[in-house]
Every structure is written in C-alpha cells, then in structure tokens.
Amino acid sequence: MNQKQKQNIQLPEGSLGKQTSTLNLGPTHPATHGVFQNILEMDGERIIDAVPTVGFIHRAFEKIAEHRAYYQITPLTDRLNYCSSPINNMGWHMTVEKLIGANLPKRVDYMRVIIMELARIADHLVCNSVIGVDTGAFSGFIYVFEFRELIYEIFEEVCGSRLTTNIGRIGGFERNFTDIVFQKLDHFLKTFPKAMEEFETLFNRNRIFMERTIGVGGIEAERALNYGFTGPNLRATGIDYDIRTAHPYSSYQDFDFSVPVGTTGDLYDRFLVRNAEIWESVSLIKQALQKMKDLDPSVFHADIPDFYLPEKEDVYTKMEALIYHFKIVMGETDIPVGEVYHSVEGGNGELGFYLISDGGRSPYRLHFRRPCFIYYQAYPEIIKGSMLSDAVITMSSLNLIAGELDA
Amino acid sequence: MLSNEYIQKKLVDKFGEAVFQFSEPYGMLTFEADKENNLKVLTFLKEDPELMFTYLNDETVVHYPDAKGKELAVVYLLQNIYAGIRVRFKVYTDIQKPDVFTATSLFETANWLEREAYDFFGVNFVGHPNLIRIMNVEEMDYHPLRKEFPLEDQTRIDKDDDMFGR
C-alpha cells in the first residue's frame, strides 16, 4: 500500500489491453465531494492501483493555534468538519475545561447534547442524500435538505451563524436558549420523522440502490481496526465502538440510546448505520428536552469567571467584572501547565484534541486527531479491483470532508 | 481489571529500566522509552493477551527547542478499545539525527501519520515504505511546524506587524 506507484503496469493475459492507463481523478471534480486527487491505474473500467494525494486545503491550523488564545481557537475548529461544526466546537471547549478542571451544570450538558445531536443529524443527512445523488436519485436530497435548513435556523437563533458556528464558550453557552429556539426545536421534532421515513422508503428497499451498493466498497473489521477507523464506517463492519458510550462526556451516560452496528462493512451497511444514527439522535434530543424541564432555566454557563467573559452590563459598572474581562482578553489568566487529550464522537468518528499547555496565553502544541485523515489511508485498498463508478460512491459513503482531512 | 497501575507494573516487569518517567496527567498513563526500544514496547503492548493495546489512535511530534539532545518527541497514543483505556508513549530523539523506527509494520494507521510528522517536523522514520511529504509540496526544504519557523511568510513587504503585535 502506498508504494511508489508504477505507471503502465503490465496486465495479465485476458485483460482488455496490454498495459494499464493512467487516469487522474483530479482535485477539481464534480463527483468527489471536496478537493481530493487520486491517480488511478485502470484496465478499461477496472481500477488496478490508486494513489491519493491530499493537502489541497491545508490551512495550517496547528501552527496558527500556537499563536492564538484559547477562545480564539474555536473558529479554527469550526472549519475542521464543516458539516457538523458544533461538535468540533464543543469538543474543543471540553478539552479546555478538562485542562482547567471545570465542572459544568447539568443543564449546560443537556443543551450541548441537543446542539451536538442536531449537528450529527445535519452531517448524516448530507452524507446519505449525497450517496443518493451519486447513484442517480436526486429527489431524496431535495426532501431532506429542507430539514437541514431548519437545523441551520436553530443554530442561527443560538449563536448567529449557520455553517461555521463558533457556538458555545469555555464553560457553557454565550446566551440562553430563547423561546424561539424551543419552538423551532418542537417544529423540527414534529415534522422531521415523517420526512425521514419518506427518505428511507426511497432508498432502503429500492432494487436499483441495493444492487448498486451491496457488496461494494467493503472492508473487514480486522483491517478497519488496523487502519484506525472510527465512527459509522467502523460500526458498519460490526464493531460497536462509540466514544459516547466508551468514554462518556457531557452527561451522555444519563441518556438511554443504542449504538447501531452493521455486519459486512460495505456501502449499504454504512448507509443504514447512518440512517439508524439519525433516529437515535432524534430520540436523544427528545430525552434532553424532557430532562431540561426540571432544571433551573436561567443557567447556561458554569461559574468560572477566569475563563468565561462577564456580562457587558457588569463590565461597565462593576470593578471585578472589568478586571476579569481585561485579564481574559489580554491573556493574563493563570492557565495550568500540562497535557490533556480529549475526544468526542464527531460525524466521522473519534475527533481528538491533544493539547499541551505551558501556562501561556496560547497552547504550546495543539494536535487534532482527525478521523477522515486516518481512514482515508484505507481508500486505495478498498477500491482496488472495483469499477470507477463504484470508487466514486465509495468515496462519498466514507463521508470524507476535505476540511477535516487536511486541517 | 485493567488499570493504570497494572499496566505500569507489567511494563516494568518486562522492560525494567528501559521504560521510565511514568506519570498520569489527567488520568492517562504516560511513559517514555529510548528510541531504540520503541518497536519492542509497541509490540509488547499490542500482542500481550492481557494488555491488548491493538489500536493506534494517534501519532504526532512535539518540538522542544530548549531540551538539547532531545528536541523532538514522538508521541504515540494507544488504545485498548475493549476495555476503554488509553496510554501515551513518548520517544525522544535528537534534532541533528532524527531517526526513529517506523510503526507501520504493526499498525497501518501509522503510515500517513508518520508522513505528516516527517513533513512538518523532519523526523526520519527508518523503514517507512513511502516517506515523502504529504500535505506540502515536495520541493519544500524546511519543516514548518518547528518552533523556529515563523507563522507568516517573511518575504511579504506589504504588512506591518509592529502595530498589531502577532
């Protein structure tokens, strides 16, 4: 795997030609979702060898993070997996909270669960409907994007942005959930299940879709573990490893949900696993709303004045608030020295943050454990021997997000 | 029950003085070994039937320019996904001779992670099947994530950084 690629490999007897031909499935291609380049050696329509090239959208996040304060790194994490950016933001805030040893009130945890599960639904909706588009069925995409729009409106109510949200703060949220947020959530929970059932009837037992996807792009569980797969791609092979149950964070242990698992690891299993996860996320949001009813509705952040900016009215009238504001913005707070690793279950698997702090305003080293980068290494092995059209839908079923791959 | 003390005891029983500097920052067992022994320790962690650290979560490099002789630290993050335990293993190397044995024979995950480490820090992984730059262009002859490399391109003359203090 990943040897120096041999061009024009001699083909055995009975092939269509004498040598393989080289095809550049280049970085700007309408079928590859994101900037991915693959140099393919083909025998007619069949792929003999593939060499991927990455780095077209590398933006040097790890280097920039060494020069930014902790609250300024959140917009960088937005742009990792930009289809589900609230999950990246929450993961980063939880990493810093682990470093400083902050305890969050339960209501903040439940609010975070709601936002993260909404982001997960948005990410899986994009992935699954785009698999439909790549196999030729455009209507499913149109049906579910109306609900992705509703999710974006909820994010906009909470934080002001739709896609790259920069949502939340170290210690909680920047403002409480307003009544409009709860109304929009109720509207979403009322109308979405029916549309999701329609989406499933379009694809799940559709003869053409099943013939296109069953047995295609599969990987075995042992190879997947060796390659470092996580997330829905690993769960489709049969291993039920989910960070929300293995290393619970943000009060996920209080919730009652199951982890859907596939059997063969092919494309059809990944599609079904993502659909099942969308249903689990809807159930989690309903449970979180139910649990929040008994809690004090005015709590939306932890009491850590060293890291959480005070209210603007207090900054202009009270002395302590002014001092805290100054210390936080200018970077005079005492940040503990140490190294911490925290991971969350992103849309694609274990998104990890390895933070080394030397007590200064910016991290000494921040490394993102990006799931897409790690499992994209398996792509040449998966598509070897398959047709070009299967390779394209395999890439979209792995849910490769270019921003997360390159960081 | 697999716990940090038990893992530490097994490692010390097997390797004795070759593993040292045990600590537990934020609950994760962290230890070091010399760079000649990194494959032996990784193989032991992976294949021992009680430890079963068969999953390489992450492999990255940290640059400490002040620690002479030990500037580059290769950090492996290993995981036992059945018991849910993580372990951090560090190997230090000199920046003048940054040769470390590759872990690709044990974990396929290490392939691109080590290419990224080579690209950004210059660590030479001995035995890697394809150690070329992965994110940057091949013609680049410096290693960007090292501390001495500045954040911005120094050849630009139109930006004034004195007023904005980056």
Residue A1: its pLDDT value, please? 37
> What pLDDT shows up at residue A195?
93
Q: What percent of chain B has pLDDT over 90?
A: 49
Residues 6+ apart with CB under 8 A from A324: A305, A306, A309, A310
Assign A221 to helix, strand or coil. Answer: helix
Superfamily for domain range B4-97: NADH:ubiquinone oxidoreductase Nqo5 subunit (3.30.460.80)
- Is A352 touching B (CB cutoff 8 A)? yes
Residues in CB range of B141: below 8 A, 6 or more apart: none
Evaluate if residue B114 carries a pLDDT over 70.
yes
pLDDT of residue B43: 92
The 8-class DSSP code of residue A68 comes to S
Q: Are strands A46-53 and A37-43 parallel, antiparallel or unpaired?
A: antiparallel
Q: Which of B126-133's residues contact partners 24+ apart within 8 Å by CB, and which partners?
A: B126/B99, B126/B100, B126/B101, B126/B102, B127/B101, B127/B102, B128/B102, B128/B104, B129/A1, B129/A2, B129/A3, B129/B104, B130/A2, B130/A3, B130/A4
Of A8-12, A179-183, A361-365, B107-111, minimum mean pLDDT range = A8-12
Locate the chain B residue with the closest alpha carbon to A229: B109
Interface of A with B in 357-386 (CB under 8 A): 364-365, 367, 369, 373-374, 376-378
- A128 pLDDT tier (thresholds 50, 70, 90): very high
Q: Does A228 touch chain B (CB under 8 A)?
A: yes
Residue ranges in B104-145 assigned as alpha helix (H): 110-121
Contact A129/A144 with Cβ under 8 angstroms? yes
pLDDT digits (tens, 9 = 90+) for A389-398: 899 999 989 9
Q: What is the tens place of the pLDDT at every residue in A289-334?
A: 999 998 988 889 998 988 998 888 999 999 999 999 999 988 888 8
| B62 to chain A, closest Cα gap in Å | 7
Q: Which residue has the tokens 């009837």?
A: A201
Closest to A62 measured CA to CA, from B71, B74, B116, B100: B116
Chain A touched by B23 (CB under 8 Å): no
Q: Do A2 and B109 touch (CB under 8 A)?
A: no
Q: Is the pTM of this model over 0.95?
A: no
Q: Does B57 touch chain A (CB under 8 A)?
A: yes
Q: pLDDT band for position A2 (50/70/90)?
A: very low
Q: Is A253 in CB contact (< 8 Å) with chain B?
A: no
Number of H helices, E strands in chain A: 17, 6
Q: What is the pLDDT of residue A6?
A: 65
Contact call for B112 and A377, based on CB within 8 A: yes
Q: pLDDT at position A29, please?
A: 85
The minimal CB distance from B144 to the residues A63, A339, A350 is found for A63
Mean pLDDT score, A217-228: 90
A window 96-135, beta carbon within 8 A of B: 98-99
- A40-51 pLDDT tens trace: 988 888 898 899
Q: What is the pLDDT of residues A141-165, one digit of tens each?
A: 998 899 999 999 999 999 999 999 8
pLDDT tens per residue across span A164-208: 989 989 989 988 999 999 999 999 999 999 999 999 999 999 999
pLDDT score recorded for residue B163? 67
Do residue A247 and residue B84 have CB atoms under 8 angstroms apart? yes
H/E run at residue A139: helix A139-159
Q: Is B46 on the interface with A (CB under 8 A)?
A: no
A220 interface with B at CB cutoff 8 Å: no
Helix A139-159 and helix A179-203, axial crossing angle in degrees, nearest 10: 160
Of B25, B26, B135, the CB nearest to A55: B135
Instruction: Set out the domains of chain A in order of their start, with CATH numbers.
Output: 61-406 (1.10.645.10)
Helix pair B38-47, B4-15: axis angle to 10 deg: 130
Please check whether residue A190 touches B, CB under 8 A.
no
What is the complex's ipTM, to 2 decimals? Answer: 0.91
Res. A337: pLDDT tops 90 = yes
